Homo-oligomer: A and B are copies of this chain.
Amino acid sequence: MKTLQVDLGPRSYPISIGSSLLGRTELFSPHVTGRQVMIVTNPTVSSLYLKRLRPALANYTVQVHEFPDGEEYKTLEQLLPLFDQLLTAQFERRCTLIALGGGVVGDMTGFAAACYQRGVPFIQVPTTLLAQVDSSVGGKTGVNHPRGKNMIGAFYQPQAVIIDTDTLQTLDDRQFSAGLAEVVKYGLIRDAPFFDWLETQASALMKRDPGALSIAIARSCEIKADVVAQDEREGGLRAILNLGHTFGHAVETAMGYGTVLHGEAVAIGTVLAARMSLQLGGVTPQDLDRLLILFQRMNLPTQLPSQLTADTLLSLMQLDKKVEQGQIRLVLLKQLGEAMISNDYPADLLSQILTVSL
């Protein structure tokens, strides 16, 4: 088992990464406040992993709440039944919520924990690759709005993140690949040698080799924890974690939540960001080729869905949280392994890139 620390002063917390962690009481107990525990999950994850988690919580009064499975249910309305159950069961301020599932479960549970009685503790137990390397770490919680992704939410840190890598063995192929898009992102924005390593390990990762997976997850979490520790509330640096996301969110919103997976949209968006960076002299044509090949080996899409239009995407990007004074701030690559945030690019380059990519 590997343990990392997210350093945020009084809000610091550990990330544990390893095999067979779900049932281990000693990983959970130090982070559970009070006697009441609400495990929040979805039907798919529940049927696979609830039984493994239960022994770790044998000493608590445990209830289970299931959200419907899928990004299209990541809404404010879906939180209401959870609040109902918490109040009906008389859950006190000294209770703990445990998010057992992927990014949707984690984001929604975290936001519910931020709001219930103005804030109760919660623990992230991510079961998808995407949640393990990205959404469970860093305290971004929230729900979608028909007009934009994650538009309603809170910065709210968990008490601990417990990553049982065994859960990846049952993850469906599409979801697994979607998670790899975020892993590749960390190499691109912050660690060129990690990108090189991912190229050499692409086959092993696609075969879900436990050793390769553990290394990839740990390095991803390490980079994320380091960035978040420097800029918890996204005043500056943290925005680099959104490489491909401004494009990606627009694709997700335009296609309808749940049609394109978040990681797939990020892969498409990352390619667009790389194409823009190429035009601006940030990466080489060879870098772009390496990225396209790596994503293809990971079964990730690299092209915009052809039914979209550049105008639709542009107007959705205008709505993104990264817009300031009407100008879309983009995460671009200074070089492979180094990101930069820019709103200083030719005005027509963005729509040109979108148009030629369709």
Contact A151 B83 (CB under 8 A): yes
Q: Would you give the 0/1 interface string for A132-145, flagging 1 where the beta carbon is closer than 8 Å to chain B?
A: 00000000101001
How far is it, in angstroms, between the C-alpha of A258 and the C-alpha of B142 when the chains are bound? 30
| Contacting pair A145 B83 (CB below 8 A) | yes
Which of A86-94, A275-283, A287-295 sits within the interface? A86-94
Name the B residues within 8 Å of A35 (CB-CB). 325
Contact A94-B154, Cβ < 8 Å, known A87-B147, A118-B140, A145-B87: no
Q: Across the two chains, which residue of chain B brings its CB closest to A321?
A: B117
- A162-193 to B contact mask, C-beta < 8 Å, 1/0: 00000000000000000000000000000000
Residues of B within 8 A of A34 (CB): 325
Q: Which residues of B contact A79 (CB under 8 A)?
A: 76
Interface residues of A in 273-323 (CB under 8 A from B): 318-319, 321, 323
* Per-residue interface assignment for chain A, residues 54 to 84, with 1 indicating a CB less than 8 Å from any chain B CB and 0 otherwise: 0000000000000000000000100110011
CB neighbours of A26 from chain B (8 A): none
Known A-B contacts A76-B80, A87-B147; A119 and B152 likewise in contact (beta carbons under 8 Å): no
Most buried by B among A88, A233, A319: A319
Minimum distance in angstroms from A20 CB to a CB of chain B: 33
Query: A98-127 interface mask toward B, CB cutoff 8 Å, 1 = contact, 0 = none?
Result: 000000000000000011111100000000
A80-B76, A324-B94 as given contacts; A154 in contact with B119, CB under 8 Å: yes
A321 to chain B: which residues have CB within 8 Å? 92-93, 117-118
Structural contact, B154 and A154, CB atoms closer than 8 A: yes
Which chain B positions have C-beta within 8 A of A323?
A: 90, 92
Residue pair A151, B94 in contact (C-beta under 8 Å) = no
For A150, the closest partner residue in chain B by CB is: B118
State whether A87 touches B151 (Cβ < 8 A).
yes
CA distance A154 to B110 in the complex (A): 13
Point out the residue from B84, B154, B319 that lies within 8 Å of A114, measured CB to CB: B154
A23 within 8 A of B: no
Contact (Cβ within 8 A) B155 A118: yes
CA distance A92 to B319 in the complex (A): 8
**Cα(A115)–Cα(B318), bound, Å:** 19
B residues less than 8 Å from A325 (CB atoms) = 34-35, 92, 94
Check: A269 CB closer than 8 A to any chain B CB: no
Specify which chain B residues have a CB less than 8 angstroms from the CB of A115 in the assembled complex.
115, 142, 152-154
Q: In the bound complex, how far is the Cα of B140 from the Cα of A324, in angstroms?
A: 28
Considering the chains assembled together, what is the distance between the CA atoms of A113 and B282 in angstroms?
37
Chain B residues with CB under 8 Å of A248's CB are none
List 6 contacting pairs A-B, 8 Å CB cutoff, sorted by A.
A114-B154, A115-B142, A117-B151, A118-B140, A118-B142, A154-B154
- Name 17 extra pairs, CB < 8 A, besides A92-B324, A116-B152: A35-B325, A83-B145, A83-B152, A84-B145, A87-B148, A87-B151, A90-B319, A94-B324, A115-B142, A115-B153, A115-B154, A117-B151, A118-B140, A118-B150, A118-B154, A118-B155, A154-B154
